[in-house]
């Protein structure tokens, strides 16, 4: 009986580790944002700098605590057919983003008010570079690896482990943008994209594919953010 209890308690360890790092990362970003005063708090460039420092720092610290090399968490440079398939699976959301970003760009050009150059560069930096690298390190590299390592025969649903669904729901939470007209479609698109990232990572155990797919997903938004620079 004691051995069974020990196994049951051990099965929760990867969830505690993965979710703890996730919460710690979000809390750290929130605390830093509160500490910053004035316009800096909402400056996208500064937010990107904070994310690119905070998220990888949590991942590296947690990897060292687990006594595993970084390569164990997908920090490898390799490509495979699964990564290419992932890009194909992502195309519906990419096309929706292109359509949505195009209308935003046209509205921005027609508007009398335009974002500042620093703000435009900040959004492009945050969405085009920071998110694909920092977020994939956290969600796929550390969290999904930790869960896959510790799982005991996880169930599968629609071709993915329940672990990937769990990571994708956590990925979606900070990306929810309430109050926007296309809230439902955007949220479903982000959830689907995260599931694709997870599927690629499950197949390859490398971050190269998820980072490339995440970059492709955010590319339209990053380019539209640079529209003010053409004026």
CB atoms closer than 10 angstroms to residue 97 = 21
- Least confident window among 60-64, 110-114, 125-129: 110-114
pLDDT > 90? residue 167: yes
Q: What percent of the chain has pLDDT over 70?
A: 86
Mean pLDDT for the stretch of residues 185-195: 94
Mean pLDDT for the stretch of residues 178-199: 90
Average pLDDT, the chain: 85
pLDDT > 90? residue 12: no
Q: Which residue has the tokens 């929760």?
A: 12
d(CA 173, CA 170): 5
**What's the token pair of residue 118?**
């620093």
Mean pLDDT for the stretch of residues 91-109: 81
Contact present, 224 and 211 (Cβ < 8 Å): no
What is the structure's pLDDT at 4?
38
pLDDT > 60? residue 3: no
What is the structure's pLDDT at 158?
82
What is the structure's pLDDT at 1?
38
pLDDT digits (tens, 9 = 90+) for 207-221: 999 999 999 999 988
d(CA 222, CA 231): 17
Helix (H, G, I), strand (E, B) or coil at 152: coil
């Amino acid at each position: 009986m004691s051995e069974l209890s020990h196994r049951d308690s051990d099965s929760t360890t990867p969830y505690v580790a993965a979710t703890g790092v996730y919460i710690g990362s979000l809390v750290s970003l929130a605390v830093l944002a509160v500490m910053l005063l004035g316009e800096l708090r909402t400056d996208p460039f500064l937010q990107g700098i904070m994310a690119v420092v905070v998220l990888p720092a949590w991942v590296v610290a947690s990897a060292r605590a687990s006594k595993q090399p970084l390569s164990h968490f997908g920090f490898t440079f390799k490509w495979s057919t699964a990564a290419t398939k992932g890009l194909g699976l992502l195309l519906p959301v990419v096309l929706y983003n292109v359509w949505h970003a195009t209308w935003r760009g046209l509205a921005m050009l027609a508007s009398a008010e335009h974002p500042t150059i620093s703000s435009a560069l900040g959004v492009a930096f945050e969405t085009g570079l920071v998110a694909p690298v920092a977020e994939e390190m956290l969600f796929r590299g550390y969290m999904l690896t930790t869960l896959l390592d510790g799982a005991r025969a996880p169930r599968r649903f629609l071709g993915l482990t329940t672990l990937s669904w769990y990571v994708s729901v956590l990925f979606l939470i900070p990306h929810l943008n309430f109050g926007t007209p296309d809230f439902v479609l955007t949220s479903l698109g982000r959830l689907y994209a995260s599931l694709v990232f997870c599927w690629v990572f499950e197949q390859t155990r490398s971050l190269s594919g998820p980072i490339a797919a995440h970059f492709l997903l955010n590319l339209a938004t990053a380019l539209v953010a640079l529209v003010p620079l053409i004026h």
